[in-house]
Amino acid sequence: MTTYYTKDHEWIAVEGDTATVGVTDYAQSQLGDVVFVELPEVGKTLAQGDEAAVVESVKAASEVYAPIDGDVAEANDALADEPAKVNEDPEGTAWFIKLTITNKDQLSDLMDEAAYKSYVAGL
């Protein structure tokens, strides 16, 4: 499994033709306490940069964008009941969606972990 990152602070873990997408630890720390998560319907087709989900915290609402093109294969419905999981384990059990990848070439637009850490350090 290979993990990539976006400048909008999403992570994407790729295994075969499936990509698991969530927000980074940096993103959840900037949001504060997450109180609501809205996820897309299974089957929805997303293009790179499309709004994939909405996260609301005590501080603000924020969009989660699709890092690559894909079809929503699964949504983490547990987040609807327990949105605080995003603060507890953002890069693990609090993933948002799983996509069936439709354009693997877009992965080259994303950062690896070292590049992302360098990017965040410069913010």
Q: Has residue 116 been placed in a domain? A: no
From 65, 36, 61, 37, select the one nearest 50 (Cα to Cα).
65
Pairing state of beta strands 51-57 and 34-38? antiparallel
* CATH at residue 101: 2.40.50.100
Range of the structural domain that residue 89 is part of = 2-105
- Residue 117 domain-assigned (yes or no): no
Global pTM value:
0.95
pLDDT confidence tier of residue 60, bands split at 50, 70 and 90: confident
Per residue in 68-96, pLDDT tens? 999 999 999 999 999 999 999 999 999 99
Rounded to whole angstroms, how far apart are CA atoms 55 and 62? Answer: 5
